[in-house]
Amino acid sequence: MDLDFWRKKRVLVTGGSGFVGRWVGRALAPAEAELHVLDLAPPKQFEVAHQYHKADMRDLAAVGALLDGVKPALIVHLAGQPGVQSSHDNPVGAYEANVLCTFNLLEACRTRPGVEGIVAVSSNHVYGHQHHMPTKEHEALNGEGTYAVTKLCGDVLSRTYGKTYGLPVGIARMTNSFGGDDHHVSHIITATILSCLRGEAPVIKQSGKDRKGYLYVKDTAEGLLAVAAGVAKKQSLRGEAFNLVPNEAWTVLELVKTIMQIAGMKGSPAVHKPEAEHEDEYLDNAKAREQLGWVPKYDFQRAIAETLEWYKTSGQAHR
């Protein structure tokens, strides 16, 4: 992370009360950035100094008023509907959160000077089924589900505003993030860690053969900041997308067994549907390495060890 670039900057994090948003705030703390958090509710038990804001991002005028008041230099746009199933069940809410809110932010920034860099958060789901792995950013975007398509729309809107209007926005195609302070206790890594700390056999709900990337949230936060800084520094990066993913992909069974080993847990996980269909996803992070200088700092074992320690210290395993 380029601390000199971020020193004393005024930064707006939309969705800043969430899991990744709080870690972005922590990453900015050493730079003494002026942190502004926009969310539906203020972050709970968040130790980083910040100013909290609430605004309806579905309303373009409200977004404009927020920007006029905060006057951010950099924006990390995390706000959205994160759930695959919840998006499927509520497509209107998914559209409003992932498309309309992103459009309003981009349009409000277009008509106001002073924003140096924006990172709009997209998803690994925009790729859908891929034929070439590891998948690079120029490959087809084949996402079909409601969540995937709404994230894809925000992704393409950000490209349009970067390439057509010269807005300093970059796109972060994120994968599964994990780490301490994750309130999504059903996430496979968090759920496995909590099971191990309770002395319970971890549960794999499907076959365990799904292969994806799992990125430590500290690396995720620094990657997001690298995208925002990159488009602020280089006009050629505006509207470009970057895969923020680890160096390797893991099957669910591999990662659960590794967590159990690190936690000193004996036995085997319970696999509920060993014959279920599985997905194979493996994204390439070379573009982010080469053009942003972002490299994941944590290998999986070190990241899991840190995360285990966080949950031991927090006492969450026994709540």
Fold exhibited by the domain 188-210+248-281+308-318: UDP-galactose 4-epimerase; domain 1 (3.90.25)
Low pLDDT (below 50) residues in the chain = none
According to DSSP, the β-strands at 117-123 and 74-77 are parallel
Q: How far apart are CA 113 and CA 91, in angstroms?
A: 33
Q: What is the DSSP letter of 283?
A: B
Q: Among residues 282, 288, 279, 212, which one has the least CA distance to residue 243?
A: 288
pTM, full prediction = 0.95
Among residues 52, 95, 127, 147, the one annotated as catalytic is 147
Per-residue pLDDT tens over the stretch 67-101: 999 999 999 999 998 888 889 999 999 999 999 99
Active site residue 311: no
- Return the domain boundaries, the chain: 3-178+215-247+282-297, 188-210+248-281+308-318
Q: What phi, psi does 126 have (nearest 5°)?
A: -65, -25
Q: Where are the beta strands (DSSP E) in 39-98?
A: 51-53, 74-77
What is the pLDDT, as a whole number, of residue 229?
A: 98
Fold exhibited by the domain 3-178+215-247+282-297: Rossmann fold (3.40.50)
Q: Among residues 38, 36, 28, which one has the least CA distance to residue 7?
A: 28
Q: Among residues 140, 104, 136, 135, which one has the least CA distance to residue 120?
A: 104
What is the pLDDT, as a whole number, of residue 277?
A: 85
Residue 105 burial by Cβ neighbours in a 10 Å radius (0-12, 13-18, 19+):
buried
User: Is the preceding peptide bond at 134 cis, omega within 30 degrees of 0?
Assistant: yes
Q: What is the DSSP letter of 43?
A: P
